[in-house]
């Protein structure tokens, strides 16, 4: 049977909020457990891995949107890039080595952390069992 | 009327709220006797913008579709540089914002087609707001252009080129009053505008018990349907579910029926509480909603929220985030759902729904009546036709 009665949802939400405030004030919530769960709670996102961004490119396609003089501007940029390459390339090379070294360390740390989490989870199960 | 919709991707294989809305509008208007065409690109994927379908003309459910190739290939390096800046809450600057827009499937032939089409139609309708086809396309003939923005409160909505386009067109068509209010806050003065919304049909019989049997589901369940990503606050659904199940519930945990795709996976603590259904048919989604205590939609990035309506049509109340003006407005106006501002409120609401079937039925019935009253197709088409006539006339 379809119920035609309408709930005052605003009043109900206010009642819920008041009940939550009352329980919080009365210390009803397991704050320690909630804090631990919230801290532990992390969502894994399959975003672009940092490896994809680790290599810095020192040369990008050269373009100019200026009419007529565009080719000359591109030629000038290309010449400038070649003139500065003795300075730019070693700096970019060093940055890439640093990025990759940092990533290797991060991945090692991640593997250690996952190992420890699995271990802790196993210990917890044994304790409860 | 002669109408042309302009949208970056079009077809039954394109998922997404705005894309579905454009297809629904186009097909319903065509069925109502209007002459409707769609101008779009050949792309289907809004990450790659690769041409996946042939260019040219075709017919799809009574609608003439004209596809044009994407001529500005996606610059992934540019996207990789710009996204962290936006994610950090920083601005790209006007030239950066323009480059961002041009990196979303720009098709010069589509812009030429818009210019050629404008004189022979009563209105050009663009949706959604943030892609090149709308930002640059609606600027071709702003006097003939109406935009259905499907606006969210996000960084892209503050882009200068986006705002310039939205301020300059003949009219804006919003999905809800809350979306209109957001646009007014972002744009200052609005051009002509109307609130129309999306249309729905009665779902017919839904089979919650059958769904439970087919999928071996026992006990109380909640449902989430949509993109499983941070932008939709799916991580918050998982967090509330976990805190409820492990610390806050007075009646034990509940299981989440999770439907859709996306990059977010439940963390270990939440995994036992999630029944991952992945992509399901529309019928299965309605049955899953019918099998659930409530549909949980904590996203703040909504201009309408179809899943809320589908939940109500399936006889299921809604739980939404108190910080989302759109979904909260739907719940307040319908009396079909409750909004929560944290895990403790979520727990209190779920506990009440579990113990009070009368409350569940009353909320769901109110929601169903709201959809039937405001978002039946005849009501929506009437508002849409009037909006186009008045603003493009």
Hey, is the C-beta of A83 within 8 angstroms of any chain B C-beta?
no
Work out the angle at residue B231's Cα, subtended by the Cα atoms of residues B223 and B196, and round it to the nearest 5 degrees.
80
d(CA B303, CA B322): 15
Q: How many CA atoms lie within 13 A of B81 on its CB side?
A: 12
How do residues B365-378 score in pLDDT, each as one tens digit? Answer: 999 999 999 999 99
Task: Output the pLDDT for position A3.
Answer: 47
Reported confidence tier of residue A1, pLDDT bands at 50, 70, 90: very low
How do residues A48-100 score in pLDDT, each as one tens digit? Answer: 567 667 777 777 777 777 888 888 988 999 999 999 989 998 998 898 888 88
From the CA of A79, how many Å to the nearest CA of chain B?
23
Hey, is the C-beta of A57 within 8 angstroms of any chain B C-beta?
yes
Q: What's the distance, Cα to Cα, between the start and end of chain A in Å?
A: 47
DSSP state string for B17-57? HHHHHHHHHHHHHHHTT-EEEEEEESB--TTT--B-S-SEE
Nearest to B264 among A41, A45, A57 (CB): A45
Mutate to test the interface with B, among A1, A3, A6, A9 (most CBs of B within 10 A): A9
| A46/B265 Cβ within 8 A | yes
Contacts of A59 in chain B (CB under 8 A): none
**Residue A104 scores a pLDDT above 80:** yes
d(CA B22, CA B11): 10
Contacts of B265 in chain A (CB under 8 A): 43-46
Hey, is the C-beta of B99 within 8 angstroms of any chain A C-beta?
no
State the complex-level ipTM.
0.80
Cβ(B171)–Cβ(B146) under 8 Å?
A: yes
R_g over Cα of chain B: 21
d(CA B29, CA B7): 16
Cβ(B241)–Cβ(B314) under 8 Å?
A: no
d(CA B307, CA B140): 34
Query: How many residues make up chain A in this entry?
Result: 129
d(CA A105, CA A54): 13
What is the pTM for the complete model shown?
0.74
d(CA B136, CA B39): 14
pLDDT per residue of chain B (393 residues) written in tens, 0 to 9:
999 999 999 998 887 788 999 999 999 999 999 999 999 999 998 888 999 999 999 999 999 999 999 999 999 888 888 887 787 677 888 889 999 999 999 999 999 999 999 999 999 999 999 999 999 999 999 999 999 999 988 899 999 999 999 999 999 999 999 999 999 999 998 999 999 999 998 777 889 999 999 999 999 999 999 888 888 899 999 999 999 999 999 899 999 999 988 778 888 888 899 999 998 888 999 999 999 999 999 999 888 888 999 999 999 999 999 999 999 999 999 999 999 999 999 999 999 999 999 999 999 999 999 999 999 999 999 999 999 999 986
Contacts of B230 in chain A (CB under 8 A): 43, 45
Percent helix, strand, coil in chain B, to 5, is 45, 20, 35
């Amino acid at each position: 049977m379809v119920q035609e009665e309408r709930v005052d949802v605003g009043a109900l939400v206010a009642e819920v909020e008041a009940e939550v405030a009352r329980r919080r004030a009365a210390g009803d919530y397991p704050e320690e457990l909630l804090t631990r769960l919230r801290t532990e709670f992390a969502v894994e996102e399959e975003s672009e891995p940092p490896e994809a961004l680790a290599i810095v490119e020192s040369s990008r396609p050269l373009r100019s949107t200026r009419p007529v003089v565009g080719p000359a501007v591109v030629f000038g940029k290309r010449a400038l890039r070649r003139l500065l390459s003795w300075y730019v390339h070693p700096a970019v090379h060093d940055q890439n080595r640093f990025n990759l070294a940092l990533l290797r360390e991060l991945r090692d740390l991640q593997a250690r952390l996952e190992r420890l989490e699995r271990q802790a989870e196993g210990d917890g199960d044994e304790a409860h069992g | 009327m002669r109408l042309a919709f302009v949208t970056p991707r079009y077809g039954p294989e394109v998922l997404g709220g705005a894309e579905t809305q454009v297809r629904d509008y186009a097909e319903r208007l065509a069925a109502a006797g209007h002459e409707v065409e769609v101008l779009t690109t050949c792309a289907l994927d809004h990450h790659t913008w690769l041409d996946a379908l042939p260019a040219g003309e075709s017919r799809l459910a009574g609608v003439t579709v004209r596809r044009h190739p994407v001529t500005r290939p996606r610059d992934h390096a540019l996207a990789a540089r710009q996204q962290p800046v936006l994610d950090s809450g920083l601005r790209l600057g006007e030239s950066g914002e323009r480059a961002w827009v041009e990196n979303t499937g720009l098709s010069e032939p589509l812009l030429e087609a818009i210019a050629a089409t404008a004189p022979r139609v009563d209105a050009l309708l663009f949706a959604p707001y943030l892609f090149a086809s709308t930002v640059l396309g609606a600027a071709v003939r702003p006097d003939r252009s109406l935009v259905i923005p499907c606006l969210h409160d996000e960084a892209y909505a503050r882009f200068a080129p986006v705002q310039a386009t939205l301020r300059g067109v003949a009219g804006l068509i919003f999905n809800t009053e809350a979306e209109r209010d957001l646009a007014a806050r972002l744009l200052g003065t609005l051009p002509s505008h109307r609130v129309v919304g999306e249309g729905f049909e009665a779902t017919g019989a839904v089979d919650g018990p059958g769904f439970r049997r087919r999928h071996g589901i026992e006990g109380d369940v909640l449902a989430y349907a949509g993109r499983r990503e941070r932008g939709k606050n799916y991580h918050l659904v998982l967090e509330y579910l976990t805190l409820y199940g492990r610390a806050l519930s007075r009646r034990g945990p509940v299981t989440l029926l999770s439907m859709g795709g996306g990059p977010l996976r439940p963390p270990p603590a939440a995994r036992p509480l999630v029944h991952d259904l992945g992509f399901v048919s529309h019928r299965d989604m309605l049955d899953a909603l019918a099998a659930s205590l409530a549909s949980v939609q904590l996203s703040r990035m909504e201009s309408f929220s179809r899943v809320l309506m589908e939940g109500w049509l399936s006889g299921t109340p809604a739980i939404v985030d108190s910080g989302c003006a759109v979904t909260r407005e739907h719940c307040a106006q319908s009396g079909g759902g409750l909004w929560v501002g944290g895990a403790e409120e979520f727990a209190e609401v779920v506990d009440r729904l579990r113990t009070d079937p009368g409350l569940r039925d009353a909320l769901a019935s109110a929601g169903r009546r709201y959809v039937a009253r405001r978002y039946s197709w005849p009501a929506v088409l009437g508002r849409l036709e009037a909006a186009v006539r008045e603003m493009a006339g």
